Structure 1
């Protein structure tokens, strides 16, 4: 089992695609995770992936008419030949039957596109808690997730000690990992290396190891991971100055190196 490490373009918006790709390749990442570029930049984006020998994970989201926007986003993403697609899917406030209807349509679109989709465990979305996600996964055996358990820590105000069964099902259905460390009061600790958050880092490490082990047993040769720490306002800032308490690039790189050393 190997780890394929991806760098999110979130927080690098001030850089050009070329500048970002050059830094990402130099740092030893295997690929880029980002939204689908605007149509006028798709050609450049694809050329840079090839030039820097980077894989691509696409990020899409649904809104409004959720099934239609999902299908449109997936079609655009598939044209760039990503390894997989991450989707922020449906809404937390949708009645459960509407969520089921959406995900059934999403699975049909996924089969047609021929690209695997991991629906992210994200706040505001259908998979915003362990138990809502577990219900969907039980009812739809083909459904897969992008595991970002930092959101669940925030929503549940805990390290999910009472969610063992739901977590186990989530591990089994994980397609991709967002390696961000959350805590009871938020989706991102100030820095994962800080000793005061050792308990949170340890909990996430245990979860990620179980995902990798399950994938190994299932015959997968690699697991894709993105150390998806975000800029302000995910990242803590100092009052009055709005100055970030840590460097985003260094934080993500620390997390990437930690995962490589401790997860496989």
Structure 2
């Protein structure tokens, strides 16, 4: 079964109104970084519950360059997210400039917290983080075969300045380890096309659909669940016009387009 999630990233509405729109659009839940402020956290959790929406916890705050400080904050955020009882936690783990051993220490922290809390923790393929490139991720997966991924392959298109034509083995290995998809469409010069509905981006959309088809097929064969967040982001991911900074498309409309495209493609009611 495939479940679809809306990104809270970019939302400017009161959260309850946002959840109302998310539910009406046909999503199953929201992917969000739960704040530490108790009132704000409760507003999010109560609104999700009110509208019958599931939670994917999101961690992206991997900013510290000192590994000990980084690991302490990583654990603090993951324990906070775990306490919210999400479906799972999606982590932008580590840094691209940390060594393998340094990043492995963080993966081990996540494994320990997951074992103690019972909350699944997976790791996102994201620029600037440990899994920033296809060949680097292949090395991690070969050495740490229990790693499970949130596949945002749009980042790799930008990192490798290609549609990964020469990275087939690494991509296939990542697909076999993927439990969650961020369905943003990237291209060789950036992690997000201006509007996936536009004909000039059709070849790039088709390339991503082909990768996602393989993920879906893997889970259907194994009879395991799969989740998708339609994570087209706001500016500066969303292209804007010079001087006026007016967005060239609606982030919400693009994400709902991706939701309906994928629901239809994978025959999800």
Deviation of the 1:142 alpha carbon? 1.3
Aligned to 2:114: 110
Aligned-residue Cα RMSD (Å) equals 1.2
Q: May I ask how many residue pairs the two structures share in their alignment?
A: 261
Unaligned runs of 5+ in 2: none
The alignment status of 1:227 with 2:226, answered yes or no, reads no
Separation in structure 1 between the aligned mates of residue 210 and residue 9 of structure 2, nearest angstrom = 26
Deviation of the 1:40 alpha carbon? 2.3
The alignment status of 1:255 with 2:255, answered yes or no, reads no
Work out which of the residue numbers 100, 103, 116 in structure 2 matches 1:99. Answer: 103
Asked if 1 retains the 8 angstrom alpha-carbon contact of 2:78 and 2:110, the reply is no
Deviation of the 1:235 alpha carbon? 0.6
Q: Secondary structure at the match of 1:154?
A: helix
Unaligned runs of 5+ in 1: none
Q: Secondary structure at the match of 2:215?
A: helix
Deviation of the 1:173 alpha carbon? 0.8
Separation in structure 1 between the aligned mates of residue 70 and residue 114 of structure 2, nearest angstrom = 14
Which segment is superposed worse, 38-47 or 71-80? 38-47
Deviation of the 1:219 alpha carbon? 2.2
Separation in structure 2 between the aligned mates of residue 211 and residue 66 of structure 1, nearest angstrom = 32
Aligned to 1:201: 205
**After the TM superposition, which residues 12-27 of structure 1 pair with which residues of structure 2 at under 5 Å, given as runs?**
12=11, 14-27=12-25
Work out which of the residue numbers 147, 152, 161 in structure 1 matches 2:156. Answer: 152
Q: 1:26-64: CA deviations, max 9, x gaps?
A: 111110111113322222222211110000001013343
Deviation of the 1:21 alpha carbon? 0.8
Structure 1's consecutive aligned runs of 4 or more residues displaced over 4 angstroms after TM superposition are none
Which segment is superposed worse, 107-116 or 226-235? 107-116
Aligned to 2:241: 238
Separation in structure 2 between the aligned mates of residue 129 and residue 263 of structure 1, nearest angstrom = 28
Q: Secondary structure at the match of 2:126?
A: coil
Q: 1:50-109: CA deviations, max 9, x gaps?
A: 110000001013343232222211111111111111111110011222122222222222
The alignment status of 1:139 with 2:143, answered yes or no, reads yes
Separation in structure 2 between the aligned mates of residue 209 and residue 160 of structure 1, nearest angstrom = 16
Separation in structure 2 between the aligned mates of residue 101 and residue 33 of structure 1, nearest angstrom = 25
Aligned to 2:41: 42
Asked if 2 retains the 8 angstrom alpha-carbon contact of 1:107 and 1:142, the reply is no
The alignment status of 1:127 with 2:131, answered yes or no, reads yes
Aligned to 1:55: 54
Separation in structure 1 between the aligned mates of residue 229 and residue 144 of structure 2, nearest angstrom = 26
